[in-house]
Amino acid sequence: MRCSRMSGDAHTERTTLLPAAARSGFLPVLLLLLGLYLVGPWVVGKPWGQSAVIAGACLMLVLAARAAGGRRRVLLATQAVAVTLLAVHGLLRAAGSTRWAAVEDVLFAFLVLVALTLTLRNKVLRAHQVDADEIYAAVTAYLLLGVWWASCYAFLDSLHLDPPAFSQDLAARDAAHDIASNFGAALYYSYVTLTTLGYGDILPVHRIARSLATLEALTGQLYIAVVMARLITLYTSRPKGADRRGD
């Protein structure tokens, strides 16, 4: 009787520990995201660089949605949007046209928003017991916030507003518009705003750009002060044996 109970307890412990080790799905997502940040500026100027960066970003976002445990229909829709984005990108590059370039920005922004929403909803905000994967998910969500705001800025810059959205163009107007051609500057501005660093080399001029920048700065501060603080508190208040059981 005792042996069967012990074997049952051991089996229960293995079944609860194996998912914790196997589901660290956000670590590869986070590493891929950081890799895109580091490698992107070096390859985006090459003929194949923009397509490679976009393909890597789509893969990262699909993996994030999967790691967040989205429903099957949501995951299929996310994959469909990613494939559509790659197809639109390929068609625009083949045609050399900028007429429908805004569609590419919108699709990318929607894809980021889906991955971000699933990550926050399923892994960050609902977490009651926090392990390393929840911390990876929270960091990934914070970085995805910057990516989503950057996609909004890139779209806003492509509209050629009067007055212009920013004090300087995020992309050269004589260059063929591409989601990767102006996204580097938009991403730089986004993280400078999200962290309230504020170098001042790029300034929001249009009222819509100013509103978005204000909202992003508030979001970044509230995320660190509320969401990350809550997760770190839950993580550090775990039972002492939790670290050994999770190894």
Examine residue 186 and state whether it is found in any structural domain, yes or no. Answer: yes
Residue 172: is its pLDDT beyond 80?
Answer: no
What is the per-residue burial (b if ≥16 Cβ within 10 Å, else e) of 77-108? bbbebbebbbebbeebeeeeeeeebebbbebb
The number of folded domains in the chain is 1
The listed range with the strongest mean pLDDT (80-89, 123-132, 158-167, 168-177) is: 80-89
As a whole number, the mean pLDDT across the chain is 81
Q: Identify the pLDDT of residue 12.
A: 40
Q: Mean of the pLDDT values across residues 122-138?
A: 88
Higher pLDDT, 237 or 2: 237
Which CATH number is 201's domain given?
A: 1.10.287.70
Lowest average pLDDT, out of 34-43, 91-100, 171-180, goes to 171-180
Examine residue 62 and state whether it is found in any structural domain, yes or no. Answer: yes
Q: Identify the pLDDT of residue 147.
A: 94
Q: Mean of the pLDDT values across residues 68-93?
A: 88
Q: Identify the pLDDT of residue 182.
A: 62
Q: Identify the pLDDT of residue 209.
A: 94
Range of the domain at 118: 24-246
pLDDT (tens digit per residue) in 204-235? 999 999 999 999 999 999 999 999 999 988 88
The answer to whether 112 and 144 are in contact (CB under 8 A) is yes
Examine residue 232 and state whether it is found in any structural domain, yes or no. Answer: yes
Residue 190: is its pLDDT beyond 60?
Answer: yes
Please list the residues that pair with 166 across neighbouring strands. Answer: 204
Q: Identify the pLDDT of residue 10.
A: 42
Examine residue 15 and state whether it is found in any structural domain, yes or no. Answer: no
pLDDT (tens digit per residue) in 3-14? 444 444 444 433
> Residue 94 and residue 100: Cα distance in Å, rounded?
13
Q: Mean of the pLDDT values across residues 11-37?
A: 65
What's the pTM? 0.82
Examine residue 3 and state whether it is found in any structural domain, yes or no. Answer: no
CB-count exposure of residue 216 (10 Å: 0-12, 13-18, 19+): buried
> Residue 91 and residue 213: Cα distance in Å, rounded?
32
Examine residue 18 and state whether it is found in any structural domain, yes or no. Answer: no
Residue 198: is its pLDDT beyond 50?
Answer: yes
Examine residue 116 and state whether it is found in any structural domain, yes or no. Answer: yes
Residue 93: is its pLDDT beyond 50?
Answer: yes
Both tokens of 180, joined, read 């990767």
Examine residue 67 and state whether it is found in any structural domain, yes or no. Answer: yes
Q: Mean of the pLDDT values across residues 103-126?
A: 89
